[in-house]
Amino acid sequence: MSEALEEMYLFGEEKMEKAIAQMKKEFASVRTGRANPAILDKVIVEYYGAPTPIRQMAQVSVSEGTTLVITPFDKSIMKELEKAIIKAELGVAPNNDGTCVRLNFPPLTEDRRKETAKEVKKYGEDTKVAVRNVRRDMVDSLKKIEKDENMPEDAVKDNQDKIQKITDKYVGIIDSLVSEKEKEVMTV
């Protein structure tokens, strides 16, 4: 196998893995019935004029599986912390007791679970599209390599089959992650 082909395969698989990593990151922010500190990853607080993620300015812990306890290192930031959580529209109201902010996650209703499952499927579909775009880029690269190196037709066909197998592998991974997350969302 030529160096250009190896590079194309490495680059393509790396991009597919990044797409799946992004999907996992999106899944972490999907609200299930349990408290998950990752839901706060998108919440940014104005801290002395600088936008700061909550996890860099407070300790976040899970209490009783359904409550997130956010204890800021600097107690003077409580109001801004509360405002940022409300602004992020997480679907839960913050309770400020002066030393920490508590977020109680009530169990999801059946309708909300179904909505969330649809959201999970959409993330999966978006990731599949990204993987298929990488496949298209790999096939385009293969065509360039074919011209540059005068590859025989059967070698081109073999490489196209290999690209398809790689794509199928990653689509399979996406499908299993999506069904796993759906199951988690639908479990009461």
116 shares a domain with 163: yes
Q: Are residues 56 and 92 in the same domain?
A: yes
How many structural domains is the chain composed of?
A: 2
Whether 98 and 41 map to the same domain: the answer is yes
For the whole model, what pTM was predicted? 0.73
The pLDDT tens digits of the residues spanning 23-73 come to 998 887 777 767 778 888 888 888 888 888 888 888 988 888 788 899 999
Q: Please report, for the domain that includes residue 117, its CATH number.
A: 1.10.132.20
Q: Which residue range is the domain that position 97 belongs to?
A: 37-104
CB 62 within 8 A of CB 103: no
The last residue of one of the domains, among 51, 84, 104, is 104
- pLDDT reported for residue 188: 66
- Record the tokens describing residue 181, joined without a space: 């997350």
Of 58, 75, 104, the residue at which a domain comes to its end is: 104
73: Cβ contacts below 8 Å, ≥ 6 apart: 57, 58, 59
Domain boundary among 88, 104, 120: 104
Q: Give the model's pLDDT for residue 151.
A: 85
In this prediction, residue 1 carries a pLDDT of: 67
Name residues of the chain where pLDDT drops below 70. Answer: 1, 33, 188
Is-contact 113 186, C-beta < 8 A?
A: yes
Task: Give residues with Cβ within 8 angstroms of 133, minimum separation 6.
Answer: none
Residue 99 and residue 132 share a domain: no
Does one domain contain both 12 and 52? no
Counting other chains too, the contacts that 25-30 makes at CB distance below 8 Å and 24 or more residues apart are: 26/123, 27/120, 27/123, 27/177, 27/181, 30/116, 30/119, 30/120, 30/123, 30/181, 30/185
Which CATH number characterizes residue 84's domain? Answer: 3.30.1360.40
Residues 127 and 81 in one domain: no
State whether residue 167 is helix, strand or coil.
helix
Q: Which residues pair with 182 in a beta bridge?
A: none
Residue 64, C-beta contacts closer than 8 angstroms, at least 6 positions apart = none
